[in-house]
Structure 1
Amino acid sequence: MLVAVGIGPGDPELLTVKAVRMIKEADCVFVPGNVAKEIISPYRDDPVVLSFPMTDDEDYIKKCMYKNADLIVPVAKKGLAVFCILGDPNFYGTFKRLCDIIDEKYPSIEYKTIPGISSITAFASASEVNINGGILITDGSPQDSKILLKVKNPKKIMKNLKTEGYREFILAEKMYMKDQKIFRNEEIPEKSSYFSVMFARK
């Protein structure tokens, strides 16, 4: 099993309890550079540092991804491989690209993610900015997705978003609580909890 663990924005004390436990229990821990290695150093002193180059050379990036997958997969086949990533592994991270390579070359490998504090929520705290109301978050690429909070009438919202060209919908209700539910597309109910988030993608 491969588990990607979000290790937050930089302070080792901002890792979740679950993240620390997974790092300590792992058969091997992998990190994407020395910054991540330093962040987890209070909990693990033997991580394998992988190369994830900051470059526009897509061929070189893909070559490194294949090499990293070849290092991680033997551990994931036999036990627990933990890949630590700054922020959150599903929020503007490199983990998805790594998984695409693993799916292609090693389709039997299972993987999952453990969330971490993202740069967005870390920014709000570090700068003492209180965020309420609608916001736009972008890395400059075309906007093809939306995240909606407190979605009490998800079916109605989904219907309206379809008229704007959105085609993929996921509703998460009471995330990480004992009665968490995840609905996709036509499974999405008429009503939902206050503790709900909807994702929509064109």
Structure 2
Amino acid sequence: MTGILYGVGVGPGDPELLTLKAVRIIKECDVIVIPTVDKATCTAYNIVRQALPEVEEKEVISVVMPMTKDKKKLIESHLLGAGKVEEYLRRGRKTAFLTLGDPTVYSTYIYIHKLILQKGYKAEIINGIPSFCAVAAKLREGLAEGAEQLHIIPGSYKIEDALTLPGTKVLMKTGSKLGEVKEQLKTLNAAAAMVENCGLEGEKIYKTLEEIPEEAGYYSLIIAK
């Protein structure tokens, strides 16, 4: 009997935002997959550990996903990761791949998910609360009202055209381009706010565009209107 892979969204950071379904699936799984070298440095794993301490009793395998735009390196890491996961599925193990936020939104998990399905194994997605929903709640704002549009934009790519779209813009993973993104928003006279490390240690809230710094950590998300 072959196993099954679950891509489990653990939410944006606050362990209380881990869903009941995610907790149940993790409890039922034999193996935990993390997208970093070890447990100590894995944000998703540490979120789960706070809500479910018994996760530390489970076997953990590491599938390293490099932070790069090099397509060749990405494909190699995805194939290697899927191969590791397949070994456990072949042995009939229930396996949970932990990922921040929701597995369907800019998640590294989805590449493994596709490869595992192509190999003929079962794979399911367990939704988590997306980071932009948690950030909006932290800012005490709605994301979209009435006929207002909502656009989710990867901030580390070319975003000039996307910023001119009507409605609310969510800028994820701005990374080292934060200063550049801030200048573009200023040019458009946009209203913007940002939360860094939402729900995590070191959380910072910037309620206006002027307050947003030129540099911030990887887990920084901007909402612009």
Which of 93, 102, 109 aligns to 2:107? It is: 93
Aligned match of 1:172: none
* 1:39 counterpart = 2:51: no
Asked whether the 8 Å contact 2:7–2:113 carries over to 1, the reply is: no
SS in 2 for 1:83: strand
SS in 2 for 1:89: coil
Deviation for aligned residue 1:102? 2.6
CA deviations on 1:126-165 (whole Å, 9 max, x unpaired) are: 222123322222225798xxxxxxxxxxxxxxxxxxxxxx
Aligned match of 1:178: none
Asked whether the 8 Å contact 2:34–2:45 carries over to 1, the reply is: yes
SS in 2 for 1:8: coil
Deviation for aligned residue 1:99? 2.6
Give the counterpart letter for 1:132 in structure 2.
Answer: A
Q: Percent identity over the alignment?
A: 30
Partners of 1:116 and 1:95 lie apart in 2 by 13
Between the two proteins, the alignment pairs up a number of residues equal to: 141
Which of 31, 54, 59 aligns to 2:67? It is: 54
Deviation for aligned residue 1:69? 0.8
Asked whether the 8 Å contact 1:27–1:75 carries over to 2, the reply is: no
Which deviates more, 89-98 or 7-16?
89-98
Structure 1 unaligned segments of length 5 or more: list them: 144-202
CA RMSD of aligned residues (A): 2.0
Aligned match of 1:195: none
Which of 107, 116, 126 aligns to 1:102? It is: 116
Which of 121, 131, 137 aligns to 1:119? It is: 131
Give the counterpart letter for 2:141 in structure 1.
Answer: V
Counterparts of 1:10-89 in structure 2 under 5 Å?
10-33=13-36, 34-42=42-50, 43=52, 44-45=55-56, 46=58, 47-77=60-90, 78-89=92-103
Counterparts of 1:134-149 in structure 2 under 5 Å?
134=148, 135-139=150-154
Partners of 2:98 and 2:29 lie apart in 1 by 11
Partners of 2:133 and 2:22 lie apart in 1 by 18
Give the counterpart letter for 2:151 in structure 1.
Answer: L
Give the counterpart letter for 1:126 in structure 2.
Answer: K
Structure 2 unaligned segments of length 5 or more: list them: 37-41, 163-225
Deviation for aligned residue 1:15? 0.4
Asked whether the 8 Å contact 2:116–2:122 carries over to 1, the reply is: no
**Please, what TM-score do these two structures have when normalized by structure 1?**
0.63
